[in-house]
Amino acid sequence: MEQCFSDSFQIEPPSRYAAWDTVTAEAGQCLTDVLRSGVPQDSDVLVVARDDRLLTAPAAEVGPHRTVAAVRAGSGPFALDQLRSLLASLETTDPDALGLAGAALVDGLAAAGGLVLEDALTGSVAKVTFAVPAWSRADGGTFLPGTVHSAPAGLRRLDLAGAGTTVTGQIAVKGWSVVRTRAPGTARCQELFEKLSGLSHYPLVLSVEDGAVRAMKATETGSAAAAAALEQLFAADRGHAAVTGLEFGMNPAAPQLPFNSESNAAATGRAAVSVHLLLGSLPLNEFEIVLDCATSSLTALAGTTPLAGAGTAAGTGPRRRRMNRVTAAGCGCH
């Protein structure tokens, strides 16, 4: 746990563990340092931190018998409220349901022969063609030993950067974004997220040709600020304009939050499966940007039934599974 949160949480006595403890990371430490400093090799570890250095570690440092789930904390006066929502989603997530939803999505896209992303609000239509759908990330919802898992779970990624894949047309993005970075600090990442925050209320239409954003059309002042931020980013590195994937959120327990959280990508929102546009690629570019397509429907190339996004009915709530509850009190770190 990052030092500034050390006085804000307590772990209730768990029923499944013989022993448990809270480890506080000192200033300047990374997760590798913490794991090397006495965390048992066969333990389950929940990391709560803002600092990116505490949210990831090489698989060799995690080890084959240690399970690590990392929760990114936000900043500001509502940081603890946001963390409370994320921890509650961990407690109520059903990995079996996520696995079934993921399998259904994979089967649906395998039979699609190509995809159409259409937005009734703006009239935007884009087509995605591929020989065989390639999945570059498959999160089944179960935290397994050996690597650091970002929480909450429930995210799958369709790779659109491979040979034989084309993306052309207009794509409307609207909703809360996620900005990932290769840099050790988070200041520039947070700044970009804040500039994109207007998309939570106003859509932005991206014109895509040959798999890259060539132009943008803002519908309101709120999305104009987001367009300006993206234009500046594209000018600095055209790699950020590349459409590299579609990400699908399948976790109905994951909340959509007004801060830079992976929960925004994993959440289903009002759909059964949410769909997001991925720009850029780590570590090739400084940022990887996940833009929600909350008002768009994704269908098969010759189909009419939505596979993801708007038009898919929200599923039933997740079966409640209890984990070790972590509670938050007042915190003086913000």
Condensed to tens digits (0 to 9), the pLDDT of residues 298-307 reads 999 988 999 9
Q: Strand, coil or helix: what is 48? A: strand
Same domain, 296 and 198: yes
In the chain, the number of structural domains is: 2
Residues 243 and 289 in one domain: yes
> Are residues 88 and 99 part of one domain?
no
How sure is the predictor about 330, in pLDDT bands with cuts at 50, 70 and 90?
very low
pLDDT > 80? residue 328:
no
pLDDT band at 204 (very low <50, low <70, confident <90, very high): very high
- Residues 87, 128: contact at Cβ < 8 Å? no
When pLDDT is cut at 50, 70 and 90, the band that residue 184 belongs to is: low
Task: Yes or no: say if 309 and 297 are a contact pair by the CB < 8 Å rule.
Answer: yes
- Cβ atoms of 47 and 1 within 8 Å: the answer is yes
Q: Is residue 315 part of a domain?
A: no
Cis peptide before 283 (omega within 30 of 0): yes
Please determine, for residue 185, whether its predicted confidence score (pLDDT) is greater than 80.
no
Asked if residue 286 is part of any domain, the answer here is: yes
Task: Determine the pLDDT at residue 67.
Answer: 93
Residue 324's pLDDT band, with cuts at 50, 70 and 90, is very low
Is 333 inside any structural domain? Answer: no
Angle between helices 187-196 and 221-236 (to 10 degrees): 140
* Residue whose structure tokens are 């509670």: 327
Q: What share of the chain is helix, strand, coil (3-state, %, to 5)?
A: 25, 30, 45
Determine the structural domain holding residue 246 and report its residue range.
95-309
Do residue 139 and residue 256 come from a single domain?
yes
Of residues 125 and 324, more confidence is placed in 125
Please give the pLDDT value at position 52. Answer: 80
My answer on whether 233 and 272 are in the same domain is: yes
Q: Are residues 121 and 266 in the same domain?
A: yes
314 falls in which pLDDT band (50, 70, 90)?
A: low
Question: Does residue 134 belong to any structural domain of this protein?
Answer: yes
Is 78 domain-assigned? yes
Whether residue 334 is contained in a domain is answered as no
Same domain, 286 and 265: yes
Nearest-5° Cα angle at 140, 139 to 143: 85
Q: Is the pLDDT of residue 320 over 60?
A: no
Q: Could you tell me if residue 32 is inside a domain?
A: yes
Share of the chain above pLDDT 70, in %: 92
| Span 247-260, pLDDT tens digits | 999 999 999 998 88
Which pLDDT does position 243 carry in this prediction?
Answer: 97
pLDDT digits (tens, 9 = 90+) for 124-166: 999 999 988 999 887 777 788 999 988 888 999 999 998 889 9
Please state the rounded mean pLDDT for residues 79-91.
88
The answer as to whether 11 is a domain residue is yes
Q: What is the pLDDT of residue 326?
A: 36
Q: Cα separations (Å) of 273 from 111, 249, 254?
A: 17, 6, 12
Looking at residue 256, its pLDDT comes to 93
pLDDT, tens only, 38-70: 799 999 999 998 888 898 899 999 999 999 999
Nearest-angstrom CA–CA distance, 83 and 85: 5
Are 139 and 236 members of one domain?
Answer: yes
Residues 114 and 44 in one domain: no
Q: What is the mean pLDDT of residues 321-329?
A: 36
Whether residues 126 and 265 share a domain: the answer is yes
Same domain, 211 and 300: yes
Residues 173, 255, single domain; the answer is yes
